Structure 1
């Protein structure tokens, strides 16, 4: 078994303080003084190897400062998360043992979570409620600075998702290689969600996404070795005698034989290595430089690309052909798309009536699509198998995707106008 190696101990490009405005939660981006709404100072955070102690659980809206001290033996991170537990409002990373760092954010009224991440991988520890009360805050600062903060915030989101993907893939590979297929089957769609939320990042890295996430039909068509999630998936859900491949013609069992233990070890370790490569990339300078070069256009384009993933693969049921877990991928793609949109939403909204109208349509589109998905389950509680959906169910989801795709396709132009 090859064990994942993290790079938490090295100096990261974005080391130190990442001070980010809470753009994803702000209703406007106006030139106003945040000091009028007040500020909260003196919040302290003590992170150890097994705890995350925050000195308070409430604050007034405005500028919040968290002084983070690492009392543990591993490099750590501290996050302030939005109420969905997914969006990152602010984070400070690469806090060495014995060191202290500060995180400053402009926080709007609402519910949040605080969490520490010793070792900078996994879900983190000590997640706790944090409430901000008071009046809504308008953010002061040059437009360019605010846009860079949005890009920084998305970089933090991607790093967090990949950091959680690392140990999740390790456990999936352990179960798969040891022959514990029941455990691997249960984990498979949940593990993939981390990847599906940020899939366009991997797709930009040459053959990395094909190695991690290609379907059998795609690998064969391009003459590539078939590896990654879906190669493991076919072992876990052995094709039935009456099953067809994704081309709808070839019997799935034709020429198929379950992998030997040695082959399972190779496929599992290969996926581990490829995810490690992704982890190293998003924690390196090339990723930061790429996001900076694309700017907010990259974020809006990312929102569009993830919805395209749903429209071209998940809605057809061809992505997770053997397991039928496509709705998990569907939901994760939508979450990732909505996250990217949330970071540029205010810029579009500030473009006058046309921008406000566009934002309103996109908000409604996400809401309608999420509600339709919720009728079939959730990422937390599980989704029904894709093949249980009726033709009417599929048409409804397709119509809602198309309804959202139209205004979303105009987002980048509006943001850059």
Structure 2
């Protein structure tokens, strides 16, 4: 059996990995915002994908991100105004605009809001504490969400990047398993099979 005490070191290691990942999200989102601000939408489309994929790699932390995830990576599902609803924000709002003919002037506010949201999340994460017992569950939920939303293209707003996002989600799953591996290697005989299946999924 694994105790709660056993899970504390991998949870702390994972939190540090997420913190480093958020630094990169902030940097890449800043590049996206800068391209929008100067009106270079071709550069903005190029900058959008790496910023979004970097955020998606942190998938195991979504539950700990709380409402911030909705502002950063939410969809228009359930919104009365759909893609034109003011509550539709974040990466997918910008994606929709970039691939549906929006002007730079209409995307400056969403890009600024996204940059502000990821910066605020980075600051909040420094004070956050994940429940160590939830770490393994997050690995499962990343792939469950991948099947439900990415492989069905339900979250495609024009970029056609769902397969790339699915790969980023696999990276996120591997990051969780890497922190849990010292505990799993002596307790879970199916770990080599899991590794092979994840490899085939790539």
Q: Which TM bucket (shorter chain)? A: 0.7 to 0.9
Number of the residue aligned with 2:193: 361
Number of the residue aligned with 2:158: 322
Alignment coverage as a number of residue pairs: 198
Residue 280 (1) aligns with residue 123 (2): yes
Instruction: For 1:161 and 1:202, locate their aligned partners in 2 and report how far apart those are by CA, in whole Å.
Output: 13
Structure 2 unaligned regions, length at least 5 = none
| Bigger RCO of structures 1 and 2 (CA < 8 A, at least 6 apart) | 2
Report SS of the residue matched to 1:344. helix
Residue 298 (1) aligns with residue 134 (2): yes
Cα displacement (A) at 1:224: 6.3
Instruction: For 1:274 and 1:219, locate their aligned partners in 2 and report how far apart those are by CA, in whole Å.
Output: 20
Instruction: For 1:176 and 1:224, locate their aligned partners in 2 and report how far apart those are by CA, in whole Å.
Output: 19
Instruction: For 1:221 and 1:365, locate their aligned partners in 2 and report how far apart those are by CA, in whole Å.
Output: 41
Structure 1 residues 221, 333: closer, same or farther in 2, change over 3 A? farther
Number of the residue aligned with 1:173: 33
TM-score (norm 1): 0.44
Instruction: For 1:151 and 1:315, locate their aligned partners in 2 and report how far apart those are by CA, in whole Å.
Output: 28
- 8 Å Cα contact 2:14-2:176 kept in structure 1: yes
Task: Choose between structure 1 and 2: higher strand proportion.
Answer: 1
Instruction: For 1:317 and 1:144, locate their aligned partners in 2 and report how far apart those are by CA, in whole Å.
Output: 37
Number of the residue aligned with 1:231: 93
Residue 336 (1) aligns with residue 172 (2): yes
RMSD value over aligned CA atoms?
Answer: 2.3
- 8 Å Cα contact 1:310-1:330 kept in structure 2: yes
Residue 350 (1) aligns with residue 182 (2): no
Query: Mapping of 1:372-411 within 5 angstroms?
Result: none
- 8 Å Cα contact 2:41-2:98 kept in structure 1: yes
Runs of 4+ more than 3 Å apart: 143-147, 202-206, 217-224
TM-score (norm 2): 0.87
Instruction: For 2:144 and 2:38, locate their aligned partners in 1 and report how far apart those are by CA, in whole Å.
Output: 36
- 8 Å Cα contact 1:220-1:226 kept in structure 2: no
Number of the residue aligned with 2:108: 265
Cα displacement (A) at 1:144: 6.8
Cα displacement (A) at 1:345: 2.5
Q: Indicate the structure (1 or 2) with the bigger Cα radius of gyration.
A: 1
Structure 1 unaligned regions, length at least 5 = 1-142, 240-257, 371-417
Cα displacement (A) at 1:220: 3.9
Cα displacement (A) at 1:197: 1.1
Task: Choose between structure 1 and 2: higher helix proportion.
Answer: 2
